[in-house]
Structure 1
Amino acid sequence: MAEQHTPRSLIVTFYGAYGRSFEGPVPVSALVRLLGAAGVDAPSVRSSVSRLKRRGFLEPARAADGAAGYVLSDEARQLLEDGDRRIYGRVPVSEEWLVAVFSVPEQERHKRHLLRSRLARLGFGAVAPGVWIAPAHLAGETGHTLERLHLTAYVELFRGGHLGFAPTAEAVARWWDLAALAKQHEEFLDLHEPALRALQPGARPGTEEAYRTYLLALDTWRRLPYADPGLPRELLPADWPGDRAAAVFAELHARLRDTGALFVRE
């Protein structure tokens, strides 16, 4: 199975994994070299950086030696910090749900589309028009996102339990497309479990190989905790592949991340 990694996505993944450890701006020349190791050519790096600057993710700055570089904006840093809890953290176990109820005037329907798309990207499932639901542990990140997009005036958030009338597992299967989520986990395993099997027990891969393998695995994995927002295990099918996918990523992270950081420092 071929895998597509866009230059812009890889740059965001790089900043999440390694870019925040730089003292000061990341020089453009360093971005070109480091993304080149992942198969991205220099023109694609430069054009993607420009797009991320226009979107407010990166801000231009000068490195200590005067070279052109970029730093994360405050909003981007908050976005990555929220992502850390999802991508690397253990999902809190909770029986409570977070319910978002929103109403947007017709003359501002573009904000209605923005609300729906962002709630979906946060991992919410659709209960009914204007009513979306997610595990309660997403409350903080949801609040940050709505504040950043200036959408809080249109949304009310509630927290509580599911009281009926369908069994909760049946309701969850309506609110989320579990078959599509399972397929994403299986695709991650097809693409990246072979890399874990190829690592010899006790052997340490080369720094560039570790960096490239980890960056590509993380670029794929980081989307999954958003598509699959940490639904309670007892509400999912018995053969749920998300458990194995999470275990494979955790092992790749443990064995490759720090070795890849040596390549970045070099």
Structure 2
Amino acid sequence: MSSATEETEPRSTQPRAFIVTIYGLYARDVGGWISVSALIQLMGRLQVDAPSVRSAISRLKRRGLLEARKVDGSAGYSLSRQARGILDEGDRRIFGRRRAELADGWLLAVFSVPESQRQQRHVLRSRLSWLGFGTTASGVWIAPRYLYEETREVLERHELSEYVDLFDAGYLAFGDVAELVGRWWDLEGLRRLYAEFLGSFDAVLERWLRDDAGGDAEAFEDYVRALTAWRRLPFLDPGLPPELLPRDWPGVRAAALFDELKDRLTEPAHRFASSAIEENSGRAATAGRR
């Protein structure tokens, strides 16, 4: 699933975020390619019109995430190698997220980038931020120790490792770590995002708990919307130990809400998306034989 590609996009570019979600959920099961007609049909369920879909696809193509390809004479787009890597990275964090323990310790990233490579400094900070690092001081970032392997992989893949030293660390003195994490991470900002997610999707789950919730198409719509709203949060929240979080931390309830929606909606949403993709592929094959 997608990681940091679309999460910083403003709300006006929401169609791109939906497309990334759809490709992340359903394209890899069918070789990474989806026809334009199938994508327009699926996006129609999300109240996005065809011109907006085509515009969003063009932007994703320019960013190197989608590649134009015809199958049986039908126009469509495949995931690029770069996009597959981003989606795989996102899967691990979104669907395999974990919560750190105090005994795990900390991972420190200390970096220095020459002034002449200012763009690389921006990219490095962006990568560390989306890996879940907080900031202790200029050029010194911190994360739960369990993020080491993922951090190393991402920094090497983006050719940023030459600027960074990673340290296995334990906090010794002189502050209260529970207070310090509120400085290292923007916990209040995270709280607002979790509250927003709960406010948007509590009622959706309540509706699906009733017998008249809807069919496969409604499940697809609700699941894509929920996952699109949710997927940035596991990157902003590194999974800090519960002992270091405020007692009423809404992230726990928000994660439980997302998991419940995922469990209830994944199968019917997949049926709907697969049917639309196969139906449009079938039309393309038929047209190609005429």
TM-score band, normalised by the shorter chain?
Answer: over 0.9
Among 48, 67, 74, the alignment partner of 2:56 is 48
- Contact persistence 1:19–1:26 (CA under 8 A): yes
Percent of aligned pairs sharing the same letter: 53
Superposed CA RMSD in Å reads: 1.8
Instruction: Give 1:217 deviation, angstroms.
Output: 0.4
| Aligned-partner SS, 1:82 | helix
Matches of 2:142 and 2:238, distance apart in 1? 11
Q: Which residue of 1 aligns with 2:190?
A: 181
| Aligned-partner SS, 1:159 | strand
- Contact persistence 1:25–1:62 (CA under 8 A): no
Matches of 1:90 and 1:106, distance apart in 2? 35
| Aligned-partner SS, 1:165 | coil
| Distance change >3 Å, CA 72–CA 160, structure 1 → 2 | same
Q: How does 1:1-266 map to 2 (within 5 A)?
A: 6-23=14-31, 25-63=33-71, 65-94=72-101, 95-201=104-210, 205-266=214-275
Q: Which residue of 1 aligns with 2:282?
A: none
| Distance change >3 Å, CA 92–CA 53, structure 1 → 2 | same
Instruction: Give 1:105 deviation, angstroms.
Output: 0.7
Instruction: Give 1:188 deviation, angstroms.
Output: 0.2
Instruction: Give 1:141 deviation, angstroms.
Output: 2.6
Instruction: Give 1:255 deviation, angstroms.
Output: 0.3
| Aligned-partner SS, 2:165 | strand
Matches of 1:48 and 1:140, distance apart in 2? 33
Moved over 4 A (4+): 201-204
Matches of 2:100 and 2:54, distance apart in 1? 42
Query: Normalised by the size of structure 2, how large is the TM-score?
Result: 0.85
- Contact persistence 1:5–1:219 (CA under 8 A): no
Query: Does 1 or 2 have the higher relative contact order (CA < 8 Å, sep 6+)?
Result: 2
| Aligned-partner SS, 1:81 | helix
| Aligned-partner SS, 1:6 | helix
- Contact persistence 2:135–2:184 (CA under 8 A): yes
Q: Which residue of 1 aligns with 2:285?
A: none
Deviations 1:70-98 (A, max 9, x none): 22122221211121121112405342222
| Distance change >3 Å, CA 90–CA 120, structure 1 → 2 | closer
Matches of 1:97 and 1:62, distance apart in 2? 48
| Distance change >3 Å, CA 8–CA 118, structure 1 → 2 | same
- Contact persistence 1:92–1:137 (CA under 8 A): no
Which structure carries more helix by proportion?
2
- Contact persistence 1:75–1:148 (CA under 8 A): no
Instruction: Give 1:208 deviation, angstroms.
Output: 0.6
- Contact persistence 2:67–2:78 (CA under 8 A): yes
| Aligned-partner SS, 1:180 | helix
Paired residue type of 1:84: D
- Contact persistence 2:100–2:144 (CA under 8 A): no
Structure 1 residues without counterparts, runs of 5 or longer:
none
Matches of 2:24 and 2:18, distance apart in 1? 10
